[in-house]
Structure 1
Amino acid sequence: MTDPQILERGAWKKITPEIAGWEFVSFEVTVFDGQTLSFEADGDERALVPLSGTVTANVDGTEHVFGGRASVFEGLGHCLYIPRDTAVTVTASSGAELAIASAPATTKHEVVLVTPDDLPVESRGAGNASRQVSTLIPPAFPADRLLVIEVWTPGGNWSSYPPHKHEHEHDGEAQLEETYYYRLRDPEKGWAIQRAYSPERGFELAETVRDGDICLLPWAYHTTVAAHGHDLYYLNVMAGPAPQRTLQAAQDPELAELVSAWAEMDVDPRIPLIPRYPQA
């Protein structure tokens, strides 16, 4: 398994287990220009998340039309879950962006369309560790391995904080491969910092991330901070060998106690940063 790494926009097209050096998570983003995407009825389950535009998916003769936001900063996401052994064809409005996450599955479930009506407008953290979270495919979702989360972090705030990891399979922690796909409200000037580190492995990574970059996290504590004035979005995909569906994570013991102070702190007043649906 390779070390955690960040790939710049333009340096990657599709993340596969072979590229990432792991076993489960695949991820890609397609921008539509009149083409049709087709996925065979194979052993992978898939999550289709429109980042912008409207998408039409035909599954076993049933048409699903979903999406519609102009960007990830205009409203909560839709997600169409496609189980293994299920073929699908996808078309979309010109310029629409579709994120496609997949993982090998051992059990087959039903097709499910998640809309913003199904999602709470949720905040996590407090003070300048406040962020907005929308869990499209949570542990309780009827899927095999895929877990999919959208996160919005106001400029200047910390996210995925305290730093945590999904590295070992034991009580309180699950082994999960993880991707962070970043978008910035200002795609030309916006930036954030991603840190991934492991005292256990003697590893340290701290890099600037920009719109369209992706981080691959096979292990390591990790946290993200949005630069002042630059709102950050990331789409978080996880899957792994855990025998049960869970997001259990081990927090860095040097920083975990900071959470105890949040009960006495206010959530950043900018949250909710994103409305449930795009505003008219």
Structure 2
Amino acid sequence: MTMRARVNPLMRRGSVADKPFETVVSPENAGWRYSGLRVLDLPIGARARFFTGPDEMLVLPLTGGCDVTCDDERVTLTGRRSVFSRVTDFAYVPKESAVTVRAPNGGRFALPAARADRRLPFRYGPAENVPVELRGAGQASRQVNNFCTPESFEADRLIACEVLTPGGNWSSYPPHKHDETGPGESSLEEIYYYEVSPSPAGTAGCGYQRVYGHPDRPIEVCAEVRSGDVVLIPYGWHGPSMAAPGYDLYYLNVMAGPGAREWLVRDDPEHGWVRGSWAGVPIDERLPLTSSKERTRP
């Protein structure tokens, strides 16, 4: 599935708003078939009601906690001060469900989504059960929170994880792709949603994202990204995701596709050799940036 030419792969914060959501990425406005994302920014005491329709979703706190009601059931999410303070708990909400998210103390919440065939149960995902993985080495070191990957949490099509990259490091590297079904590769549409840690003085930082295509499937992105921005990756090589020195970079990956729920990638053959250069190189000592325990970071 190719993206319609009119769709810009870079969506700035607020550019695809649809109340009550600050950001809405759907198969319809992305020009593809499966992956989606909504972002809620709720003031103190506010709530949002919505219907999931054909999509399975997660409620993932970015800042703050919330109560999630799905039909006649409810769970309470502890959440976190920020994506840079801890790994969070989350909730899974099935397709064709009436959902209410209520934030007594306010907060921001990401809702990764995928077009689903099966209607699975409403469930709570504890922070303590999220596998935290350190990948790469040296300045290609990063942390991956595998909260909704095929091995860690059951879903119909949805795959989602969080990546934290210390300031000055590159992640999503070497560049890789997953746009064809075949040996060692699965076909997955992907959304990147970004947050950037503030400076000690509270000023906003930025990161950078690279995406490039094949001769017969062109796409070209080399963009500055800031908190709340989104990049769509319907196909092509993607990486690196670059954290500027002094500013840690967070991104939420949301993926779904037509085949089995597998996350299989193929490195760009021109750059795959880099993995071999990591032998004997230690992981960045700043990692892990977070765990399921709260820490005193911004």
Give per-residue Cα distances to partners, 1:79-109, cap 9 Å, x unaligned.
2111223332221134311111222211122
The offset of 1:120, in angstroms, is 2.7
Q: Give distance in 1, aligned partners of 2:122 and 2:219.
A: 40
Q: Equivalents in 1 of 2:282, 2:178: separation in Å?
A: 28
**Aligned equivalent of 1:274:** 290
The 8 Å contact of residues 2 and 218 in structure 1, kept in 2 or not, is answered as no
Deviation at 1:202, TM superposition (A): 4.4
Q: Which amino acid aligns with 1:268?
A: D
What residue is the counterpart of 1:148 in the other structure?
Answer: 160
Deviations 1:242-265 (A, max 9, x none): 1x1111011101111211222311
Residues 105 and 273 (structure 1), Cα distance of their counterparts in 2 relative to 1, 3 Å cut: same
Aligned equivalents of 2:219, 2:52: Cα separation in 1: 40
What is the Cα deviation at residue 35 of structure 1? 3.2
* Other-structure match for 1:229: 246
Asked if residue 75 in structure 1 is aligned to residue 77 in structure 2, the reply is: no
* Structure 1 residue aligned with 2:193: 181
Please say if residues 176 and 239 of structure 1, whose CA atoms lie closer than 8 Å, have aligned partners that are also in contact: yes
Letter in 1 for 2:51: E
Deviation at 1:213, TM superposition (A): 0.8
8 Å contact from structure 1 (residues 139, 246) kept in 2: yes
Q: Deviations over 1:4-50 (max 9, x none)?
A: 71111232221122211111122111111243222336322111101
Partner of 1:196: 211
Match of 1:99 in 2: 110
Separation of aligned partners in 1, 2:52 and 2:145? 29
Matched letter for residue 259 of structure 1 = R
TM norm structure 1: 0.94
AA at the equivalent of 2:291: P
Amino acid across the alignment from 1:263: A
Choose 45-54 or 112-121, whichever is displaced more: 112-121
The letter for the 1-side match of 2:267 is Q
Retained in 1: the 8 A contact 2:197–2:204? no
Kept in 2, the 8 Å contact 1:78–1:114? The answer is yes
3-state DSSP of counterpart to 1:261? helix
* Equivalent residue for 2:9, pick from 5, 9, 27: 5
Aligned to 2:131: 120
- 1:262 aligned partner: 278
What percent of counterpart residues are identical?
A: 40
**Count of matched residue positions in the alignment of Structure 1 and Structure 2:** 279
Once the two structures are overlaid, the 10-residue window that deviates more, 87-96 or 118-127, is 87-96
Match for residue 246 of structure 1?
Answer: 262
Q: Is the 8 A contact 1:75 1:275 kept in 2?
A: yes
Amino acid at match of 2:233: L
Please state if 1:28 is matched with 2:42: no
Cα deviation for residue 154 of structure 1 reads: 0.3
1:140-198 Cα offsets, whole Å, 9 max, x none, are 33211111101100011011111111111112111111111100111743111100011
Contact 1:121 1:276 in 2 (8 A): no
Deviations 1:50-76 (A, max 9, x none): 101111012243220013311111100
The answer to whether the 8 Å contact 2:66/2:101 transfers is yes
**Aligned-pair RMSD on alpha carbons?**
1.7
Letter in 1 for 2:9: Q
Greater Cα offset, 3-12 or 157-166 = 3-12
Q: 1:188 to 1:215 in 2, by over 3 A?
A: farther
